Amino acid sequence: MRGVSASQKRMCTLTYLHAVVTGASSGIGAATVRRLIAEGWEVTAVARRADKLAALAKEVGCATFQADITSDDDVAALVAELTARGPVHALVNNAGGAVGWDSIAASSLDQWTDQYAVNVVGTVRVTQALLPALTESGHGDVVIVTSTAGHEPYENGAGYVAAKTAEVAMARTLRLELTGTGVRVMEIAPGMVHTDEFSLNRFGGDQAKADAVYQGIEPLMADDIADAIVWSLTRPHHVNIDQMVVRPREQGGATKLVRR
């Protein structure tokens, strides 16, 4: 099959590959949807904002489902819709985010709770709900988008660091639990990524503070992480990318950043 890519070879043995991407209305999620569609996958984009989903569907032709991953009812409705349509081969757990920039002494407990509910419990909720379908597909993949914050703490971000550390532990545990089932579990841990909303949400809509995060450095972009996700998904299915840490060149670690 000269000149045929690995993903195209897989398409010869499967009618199609169907991925579900959460947090797909913007940023890394939307970029992942675009790349998967370009690779020939069927994609269901999941997010809370119907208008953003509709715009993405118009752009790339993905299916959409409006859902909040912190809601049991929303996730149950999502699974019912997906299983009625056919197999699900991949789940990209991308929904999450950071809120607040304070010391532990001054931080909001509500913000800690909200970040844990989305990044950790939300990821577990969707993964639990879709694992039967992923296993049954015979070609199941779970991708969990964590953060380098889950590997290295830093000041003023402890709520997010704690949530992402828990998500990293969940990914590693799930990998152990699913070894031998035929379902792969892959963690992608981005460093500094410039998206339209991540830092803006963290700083409560303060655009100047959000912009300052990326000044003097060439950060990663959403498509860089989408590239890593899709590359991991398109390896031969006996290959498991356990963990991939992706940082911009000038970010040596959580406390090492060289600005121009």
Contacts of residue 204, Cβ cutoff 8 Å, sequence gap at least 6: 100
What CA–CA distance (Å, rounded) separates 212 from 224? Answer: 21
For the stretch 60-77, what's the b/e string if a residue is b when 16 or more beta carbons lie within 10 angstroms of its beta carbon? bebbbbbbebeeeebbee
The yes-or-no answer on residue 214 being catalytic is no
What CA–CA distance (Å, rounded) separates 146 from 20? Answer: 17
Residue with tokens 């964590």: 146
Whole-Å CA distances, 171 to 10, 90, 101, 134, 226: 26, 15, 25, 16, 18
DSSP string, 213-231: TTTTS--EEHHHHHHHHHH
Interstrand relation of 141-145 and 184-190 (parallel, antiparallel or unpaired): parallel
Structure tokens at 50: 């119907």
**Which of the following is catalytic: 16, 116, 160, 214?**
160
DSSP state of 240: -
What is the set of active-site residues?
160
